[in-house]
Amino acid sequence: MLRLRAGICEDPQRHLQKCVRQAEDGGWRTRNPTQMTPAQCRAARALVDVSEAKLAHVAVVPITAVRDFELTGKARPPDIEAIRAELERAGVEFLNDVGVKLRKSGK
């Protein structure tokens, strides 16, 4: 199902071509679908009740990586991937760029 947001062309093919051109021109940064937003990281930590220090320890990344990512959105991609992997291991499910939820215990 295609959801249209304000400001997006109604023709999906034209919109896709425009996005590709913008990305190639460096007009905006594309998000890797395996990554997360800083807000998702903070929310995920709150869901599983884990501190920045504990998350950094289990993800084997510097605590500054967690802090910097949550505050500024900047961190090394391998650190972000390790943080996300640990949060997923703890039961967090990431919902695209819109949020997080706890995974059902049966899965």
- Is the pLDDT at 73 greater than 80? The verdict is yes
Q: Is residue 23 part of a domain?
A: no
Going 21 to 71 to 43 to 83, the CA torsion angle's sign is positive
Give the model's pLDDT for residue 28. 39
Q: Is residue 8 part of a domain?
A: no
**CA–CA separation, 89 vs 103, rounded Å?**
10
27-64 residue pLDDT tens = 434 445 457 999 999 999 999 999 999 999 999 999 99
Q: Is residue 83 part of a domain?
A: yes
**CA–CA separation, 96 vs 101, rounded Å?**
11
**Structural domain of 92:** 38-102
| CATH number of the domain where residue 76 is located | 1.10.260.40
Give the model's pLDDT for residue 11. 63
pLDDT mean across residues, the chain: 79
Q: Is residue 78 part of a domain?
A: yes
Give the model's pLDDT for residue 25. 47
Q: Is residue 29 part of a domain?
A: no
Give the model's pLDDT for residue 27. 41
What are the φ and ψ backbone dihedral angles of 2, each rounded to 5 degrees?
-95, 125
Q: Is residue 15 part of a domain?
A: no
Q: Is residue 27 part of a domain?
A: no
Q: Is residue 32 part of a domain?
A: no
Give the model's pLDDT for residue 19. 53
8 CA to centre of own chain = 22
What's the domain count of the chain?
Answer: 1
